[in-house]
Amino acid sequence: MTQVLTKYQRYLSDFRDFERNLPADGPEWVHQVRAGALAAFTELGFPTATRGNEEWKYTHVSPIANASFVYPFGPSLDRVTAADLRRLVPESRGWIRLVFVDGHYIEALSPSPLDTGGIRVANLREAMVRERELVEPHLTRYAPVADDGFTALNTAFVHEGAFVHVPAGLTLKRPLHLVYLTSERPQPTVSYPRTLVVLEDGSAATVIESYVTLSPSLYFTDAVTEMVVGDGAALHHYRLLMESPAAFHMGITRVHQGRESSFNSTSYARGAALARNDLHVFLDGSGSTCSLRGLYLTSGTQHMDNHISIDHVAPHTSSDQYFKGILAGRSRAVFSGRVRVHKDAQKSRAVQADKNLLLSEGAEVDTKPSLEIYADDVQCTHGATAGAISEEALFYMRSRGLDQEEATRFLIQGFAREIVDTIPLRPLRTYLERLTMGALPSLQVGEQQ
């Protein structure tokens, strides 16, 4: 423990200053949560890729552990404008939007918090004070601090973030867009975005998380999202990772589903020197279903890790994973798709697939779909592919009058659109189509950055 305390002294010092800056009359139960999380972090530290630690076998986080980050105690009100947001994130007049800059809620850029008809969309800081009965039963229950050091560290600094509560039988009719933005500062900073979404029985909502930046420099985002999908509830979720090419991003998402519930999630990742999308779904009610899709684009020396886990706990549950990667330069991607079918989860169905397009000899992907089946009446399949653009497909395109560059661009675009085209929200789909097309010049075949 002494080594951990010495190595992470900066975080411990920040925590002491963080606590001193909080209101003296803050909720005691939240203080206890933070203190417990800090104790867990001092025990765990950051994970290492040591022998036997399969979850981190291909992703080394020593660049994060060895760097020094400053915790910004105040928001950058003069650094971010509405025009910046329009340039950085998808938007629609019909969406609800909450904006957080460097981890702090910015009311001036969040024109539409919601508290009507029992539906609550607010800053987590308010909810922890005023609505303890809604927050406390769920906060840290699905992302416990004992899971790993990143979760523990985020929880130690839990303060501001997004809180969404949809009572039983109600629908949040407008999509909710949560924007977590990092501003440009003189020194590398760290932020701890926190999101808690609670859908009671029979309710429904659409939630978009965007992680974006105004800074081209080094910084660290340590994000945790917990989502509860009650019996018969339906949650549509989108996660956009568009950090600085020099940034580090650790994203932990935990989802708990009740009976006959549905969870549909699409992730899109472009950016970050080192990033991890750690998504774990618990199908804990009979008849629950989840569909997880993802598209990731990497270039240069970027590293992207999708760590996807699904637990089929109850019978008659169904899951579908489909991820695609486009890799250029000397970038690296990891896909770890684990499905565990528990003993009592009879009549369950699970499908998982990961497909990767390697545009250069230096690009590399480690893909590991896996099944752990403890029931005897299930339907489960898994598979993975990785390869270059087909010469036959290029020849076919060129025989129709396209040159090499045009043919390559169309084939890459077609590969990506299989994921993007499934998004029903037109503003979001259009935005991601444009973003993907904008990335194509940097995804040159044979690129060896």
Domain ranges of the chain: 2-285
- Report the sign of the C-alpha dihedral through residues 343, 347, 348, 351, in that order: positive
- For 325-363, write each residue's pLDDT tens digit: 999 999 999 999 899 999 999 999 999 999 999 999 999
User: Residue 273: is its pLDDT beyond 60?
Assistant: yes
Q: Between 28-44 and 149-156, two packed helices, what is the crossing angle to 10 degrees?
A: 150
Average the pLDDT over 265-277 and give the result: 95
User: Residue 408: is its pLDDT beyond 60?
Assistant: yes
Average the pLDDT over 124-141 and give the result: 95
Say what the pTM is: 0.94
Distances in Å between the alpha carbon of 449 and those of 40, 262, 337, 437? 40, 42, 29, 20
Q: What local confidence, expressed as pLDDT, does residue 75 receive?
A: 66
Q: What local confidence, expressed as pLDDT, does residue 40 receive?
A: 96
Among 110-114, 115-119, 364-368, where is mean pLDDT lowest? 110-114
Tally the C-alpha atoms within 13 A of residue 211's C-alpha that lie toward its C-beta.
Answer: 37
Q: What local confidence, expressed as pLDDT, does residue 26 receive?
A: 83
CA-to-CA distance for 95 and 82, rounded, in angstroms?
15
Which of 275, 250, 50 minimizes the C-alpha distance to 151? 250
pLDDT averaged over the chain?
91
User: Residue 449: is its pLDDT beyond 80?
Assistant: no
CA-to-CA distance for 358 and 54, rounded, in angstroms?
24
119 confidence band (pLDDT: 50, 70, 90): very high
Among 6-10, 108-112, 153-157, 243-247, where is mean pLDDT lowest? 6-10
